[in-house]
Amino acid sequence: MSHLFDASRSLAALEQDNTIVAVIEMSQAKWLIAALVPGLKRQPLKKLDADAPALLKLLQRWRDEAGRAGHTIKRIVVAYEAGRDGFWLAR
């Protein structure tokens, strides 16, 4: 019996205790990044210049903060807008 591919179903469970969920709103000059970070009561929000290394540094900082709160981060999930640079940035 063949199974059809269903893109609406996730192949991996979202484990909220060890996953950072980051959302990026982009413009040409600035990026606004918000996140859900396990172990943090606040929901971080940061505006950065449009710079991929700065974004990676920010995500690492949030990963370290989660670690200090007792949550080892195994995965970072990124949501982004479909236009402009979102696709290459997430890769």
Domain boundaries defined on the chain: 17-90
pLDDT at position 32: 92
Cβ(18)–Cβ(73) below 8 Å? yes
Closest by Cα among 10, 90, 15 to 52:
90
Q: Which two three-digit tokens encode residue 58?
A: 């920010």
pTM summary value: 0.77
pLDDT at position 79: 86
CATH architecture of residue range(s) 17-90: 2-Layer Sandwich (3.30)
Q: Which residues fall within 8 angstroms of residue 30, CB to CB, at 6 or more apart? A: 47, 48, 49, 50
pLDDT at position 28: 81
Q: How far apart are CA 40 and CA 28, in angstroms?
A: 30
Output the tens digit of pLDDT for each of the chain's 91 residues: 566 766 666 677 788 899 999 999 888 889 999 999 999 998 999 999 999 999 999 999 999 999 999 999 999 998 877 665 555 565 5
